Structure 1
Amino acid sequence: MSQQASLLLQPNWRIIDQTSLGSSFEAKQSFAMDDTLCTSVGNSYSPPVLRSWIHHNTVVLGIQDTRLPDLSDAATWLKSQGYHVIVRNSGGLAVVLDPGVLNLSLLFQDSEKGIEINRGYDAMVELVTYILQDYAASFEAREITGSYCPGSYDLSMNGKKFAGISQRRLRGGIAVQIYLCVSGSGSERAELIKEFYKIGRNETETKFTFPTIIPSTMASLSELLGRNIAVPNIMYSTLHALKNLGGKLHNSQLTSEEIITFETNLMRMIDRNEKALGIS
């Protein structure tokens, strides 16, 4: 961990819980939401934010995935399996979201000297450490080869990945995002992405190296810990951790000004997806 003070030590946290909005809440809205909050936090209109969110049966592609030779066929196949497909406004690669996957976003204001990128990642690793203390569980942060969307901040137990972290910086704000596979089958999610890449590559040589998915490298916390864990359990542990660190928690939604910014950001996401996938 960094020798600097933890980013989790904040006097006030704005909590935006969107875990129960249901299937009508789309991932395009989510990424527009984080961009909106980045702007608010970056401009000191908002204290740091914890946003929690869930999406139903959605595969979120990274920008690199749009380089797949047969992206259209691969996206069509995902839709035939009952999944929505979107392209996010940041890097990384394809991930699966469903009701067993909890997404958390930590949004901070960048400092004058700049918050180094690893410090943002470390804050999320620290939060997960506190969360899993309730289950007497420890984990590693390192790249898991064979997982989908591999990165140096993959979180795993016994070589099986249950979470991945990404980061986006915009207008003086920083959004650190994590997907936590809480329940369900990690290997089944990985099988879906494996087939997506198989169809999308279509045995064509590509300049960009897409991951070779090994489904056995992915698991959910419920599978790894051998007990039934639900999203509300992890949410309770998350809020409890921030409160124990001395933060005052304030439940919130977007302000009227933020809604205007959100609508602009959402249109950008819709335009991006129309260009990348030919869909709105």
Structure 2
Amino acid sequence: MIQTPITNQKVQLLETIVSSSEQMQDYFVPFALDESILHHLVQFPSETFLHFWEMEDTVILGMTDTKTPYLEEGVALLKQRNYTPVVRHAGGLAVVSNSGVLNISLLFSRQNATIAQVYEWMQELITRAFPEAIEEKEIQAFEVSDSYCPGDYDLSIQGKKFAGIAQRRFKNSICVSIYLSINGNQKERGNLIHDFYKESIKGEKTRWHYPTINADSMANLSQLLDLTLTVQEVKERILTALFDGQCELLESEINFATEASYQKAMDRLNLRKV
């Protein structure tokens, strides 16, 4: 039986907050950090990391988004609305990261973990953190096809998506990441990505599939659970969920920014600027 990374583990904690900046390098930090940890885990497979990261007024694009026929026009629209576009390493499609959105990366090494198991571990962590999500407000995982960045492990309450999960692997190292819409105007976020695709595709047929976004298909956790939640409170809930799972929590003392893998990741991200 494969041991879960969210129970009986020593979990090293990291946090990145990216405020609005004129330096694109600042927006690459959370992605380069996750990439460097993946490489670190090849040498130290018994370690586990949890990385909280926040970004201000950013649209995180997947590689598939860069293949839209009118990408420059779509990017111009994002910039006109004061959002910074960033292209991440992993696949998937565009998501919004701004005030009220929390991103979490859980990083560990598991030789035989299936894709489904990894997604289920993240879902379990979120479910533990929100004991209020029961009965008709139970958290469910299924694709919300008219949301932005739809996937099989979209997390929803009463059919409204509040989170999406993705994973990236390097050898036996795994990074499973989730974005959580906690508060703020989720409909506005949905409309932003809807308009990005409208501008960058212009109704043309494409080789790749892009979602037709209905902004009403998503909501934030505060609304869905009828709670007043802050990003800080959700971080504390996540840490409590790990602690309740008999995990030992400690601040990471590793300076990943000095690692060669970190700089290589920054260089690759810099080549993908849009």
- TM-score normalized with structure 1 length: 0.90
Q: Structure 2: how far apart are the matches of 1:109 and 1:258? A: 22
Cα deviation, residue 256, structure 1: 6.1
**Mapped contact 1:74–1:199 kept (Cα < 8 A):** yes
SS at match of 1:115: coil
- TM-score normalized with structure 2 length: 0.92
**Mapped contact 1:100–1:182 kept (Cα < 8 A):** yes
Q: Structure 2: how far apart are the matches of 1:6 and 1:72? A: 43
In the TM superposition, what whole-angstrom CA distance separates every residue of 1:181-231 from its partner, at most 9, and x where no partner exists? 000122110000000000001121112121000010011111212232100
Cα deviation, residue 133, structure 1: 1.1
Question: Is the aligned partner of 1:204 residue 2:201?
Answer: no
Q: AA paired with 1:119?
A: Q
- Is the deviation greater in 127-136 or in 100-109? 127-136
The gaps in structure 2 that reach 5 residues or longer are none
Question: Is the aligned partner of 1:130 residue 2:152?
Answer: no
Map 1:173-188 → 2, pairs under 5 A: 173-188=173-188
Are residues 257 and 178 of structure 1, via their aligned partners in 2, closer, same or farther at CA, if it must alter by over 3 Å?
closer
The gaps in structure 1 that reach 5 residues or longer are none
**Mapped contact 1:9–1:245 kept (Cα < 8 A):** yes
Residue 40 of structure 1 corresponds to: 40
Are residues 193 and 256 of structure 1, via their aligned partners in 2, closer, same or farther at CA, if it must alter by over 3 Å?
closer
Cα deviation, residue 5, structure 1: 4.1
Are residues 27 and 256 of structure 1, via their aligned partners in 2, closer, same or farther at CA, if it must alter by over 3 Å?
closer
Q: AA paired with 1:6?
A: T
In the TM superposition, what whole-angstrom CA distance separates every residue of 1:124-148 from its partner, at most 9, and x where no partner exists? 0000000111565521100012100
Residue 119 of structure 2 corresponds to: 121
Q: CA RMSD in A?
A: 1.9
Are residues 183 and 257 of structure 1, via their aligned partners in 2, closer, same or farther at CA, if it must alter by over 3 Å?
closer
Q: Structure 1: how far apart are the matches of 2:64 and 2:98? A: 22
In the TM superposition, what whole-angstrom CA distance separates every residue of 1:102-131 from its partner, at most 9, and x where no partner exists? 0000001132xx211111111100000001
**Mapped contact 1:155–1:161 kept (Cα < 8 A):** yes
Sequence identity percentage: 35
Residue 53 of structure 1 corresponds to: 53
Residue 106 of structure 2 corresponds to: 106
Residue 215 of structure 2 corresponds to: 215
Residue 245 of structure 2 corresponds to: 245
SS at match of 2:126: helix
Q: AA paired with 1:23?
A: S
